[in-house]
Amino acid sequence: MTKKTRWVAAVAVTLAVATPLAGVCAAESAQSSHKNTEQDDLANFVRQVVDTHPSVSAARAALDASSAYEAAASRPLYNPELEFEAEDTDVETRTVGISQTLDWGGKRRARLTVAEAERRSVDADFTAVRWQVSVGLLTALADYQTETERRQLAEARATAMQEFADLSRQRFDSGDISQIELDLAVLANTQARMQLATATTGIAESKQAVVNFVGQMPVNRWPSLDVELPPVTATGAGPEELVMALPQVRAAQLNTEVASAKVMLRQRERRVDPTLSLRGGKEGDEDLVALNVTIPLPVRNSFRHEVTAADAEYRQAKEVLSDVSRRAYSRFLGAKERYEIAQAAWQDWQQTGDVSLQSQDETLRRLWQAGEIGTTDYLVQLKQTLDTGESALELRSALWRAWFEWMTASGHIKDWLGERT
């Protein structure tokens, strides 16, 4: 094969590499120019999906139920009872009476305290579900975007390997390479096609993960994620304050309040509530007026064990709160560190790796055109370039996941979603 033929083949192979390099490197510059708009679009999209997600709807229904239970607990425990009595014997008797059981033990107030704490706990659980669905959706979108660009890399790799295999067969027919070199080229082409099939499967799976959140929404309405993520910024609140404001920690804290209120409720349930009855009427020609007081006698069951059980549940709730708080604080510190490391690694790649990929491709192209390296060496270096591009995709995916974790671990996702306090 002449030198001119080799140069033309090099151009064909180099063009096949241009797409993955642009997919990994140049796309970020186009996205950064619309950073604020894309971030707002993404947040609005997430809010729209979250508001209609079945898990959030179920949590909202649970919150509505707890609010109804709270309203029910504010109502009196006992209704008055009206009694009529008529008796026809030797003496005709007609009476009417009314009775009312009195809440002398303060059970109504105790029940309301329990219901209020339970409603606030369910409210915290509702927020936690919203955050969980939001992060799940963001993760699915990030995976879909990563898999889409990974397939683009696989397509470029398959194209390049096909060009390489065709070129190798031409050189084999011309007697420039051996059968072993041709077999290696064919094997590399087969491997590239297998990787393309794997990438195609990956994008199908990641697409299904997004569909699980958005339903039948068209793909062209799915937003893209920006790589210009905000840094870890200092806030007026310290780590402990941020952690204690997290919904799962607030829910655990409120569960201790629920358990404490139930102890008080069980204690007050041991107190007897008297019933007052007033009855009036006539017995023959005589007027009747009667006042009765009924007091239960807790001699067979004093309900002491219910108080003991409630106290044990309160101690359990306190231990759960301690464990949840400790885990949340540990996650906060770990998420902060992982996000800072991932962001630093990505910025380093943008400053060094991005330039290195482009300069390496240009250098290889010049060497090929000058005939200073052979086709096999060029394709080996090309494979390394593509592998580096795929590593960049993995690094960006890790950055996104670290950002999602940091937002939930620190509570910043509340501001990002624009939720009320």
- Summarize pLDDT for 291-340 with one digit per residue, the tens: 999 998 888 888 899 999 999 999 999 999 999 999 999 999 999 999 99
Segment holding 92, helix H or strand E: strand 92-101
pLDDT greater than 90 at residue 69: yes
Mean pLDDT score across all residues of the chain: 83
**pLDDT at residue 27 is higher than 60:** no
Residue 47 predicted with pLDDT over 70: yes
* CB-based burial label for 389 (10 Å; 0-12, 13-18, 19+): buried
Yes or no: say if 71 and 89 are a contact pair by the CB < 8 Å rule.
no
Instruction: Please name which of 156, 202, 224, 206 lies closest in space to residue 361, comparing C-alpha atoms.
Output: 156
CB 378 within 8 A of CB 364: yes
Separation CA 240–CA 237 (nearest Å): 8
Is the per-residue pLDDT at 190 higher than 70?
yes
Residue 22: what pLDDT? 43
Report the pLDDT value the prediction gives residue 140, as an integer from 0 to 100: 93
Domain residues for 160? 3-417
* Contact (CB, 8 A) for 231 and 313: no
Residue 39: its pLDDT value, please? 65
Cβ neighbour number for residue 125 with a 10 Å cutoff: 20
d(CA 344, CA 353): 13
State the helix-helix crossing angle for 375-410 and 354-370, rounded to 10 degrees.
170
pLDDT of residue 17: 42
Give the pLDDT of residue 86.
Answer: 85
Largest distance between two CA atoms of the chain: 136
Between 37 and 183, the more confident residue is: 183
**248 with 324: CB under 8 angstroms?**
yes
pLDDT digits (tens, 9 = 90+) for 212-236: 999 888 888 888 887 677 777 656 6
CB 279 within 8 A of CB 96: yes
Match 């062209």 to its residue by tokens. Answer: 220
Residues pairing with 99 in the sheet: 81, 277
- How many separate domains does the chain show? 1
**CATH classification of the domain holding 238:** 1.20.1600.10
Claim: this prediction has a pTM higher than 0.85: no
Specify the length of the chain in residues.
421
Rounded distance between C-alpha atoms, residue 150 and residue 396, angstroms: 12
Neighbour count for residue 207 (Cβ, 10 Å): 17
Query: Both tokens of residue 195?
Result: 């990787």
Give pLDDT, residue 366. Answer: 67
Q: 36 falls in which pLDDT band (50, 70, 90)?
A: low
Average pLDDT (26-30) is 44
Nearest one of 43, 124, 146, 188 to 328, comparing CA atoms: 124
Weakest mean pLDDT among 79-83, 103-107, 155-159, 160-164: 160-164
Reported as a pLDDT band with limits 50, 70 and 90, residue 141 is very high
Alpha helices in 281-374 (DSSP H): 304-348, 354-370
Task: List all residues 6 or more positions away from 125 whose beta carbon is below 8 Å from its beta carbon.
Answer: 59, 62, 247, 251
Say what percent of the chain tops pLDDT 70: 84
Rounded CA gap, 356 and 4, in Å?
28
Strand partners, 97: 83, 279
* 88-133 pLDDT, tens digit each: 777 788 889 999 999 988 899 999 999 999 999 999 999 999 999 9
Q: What is the DSSP string of 171-186?
A: HHHTTSS-HHHHHHHH
pLDDT at site 333: 93
Instruction: List, for residues 349-384, the tens digit of each pLDDT value.
Output: 877 766 555 566 567 656 755 667 766 677 777 777
Say if residue 28's pLDDT is above 70: no
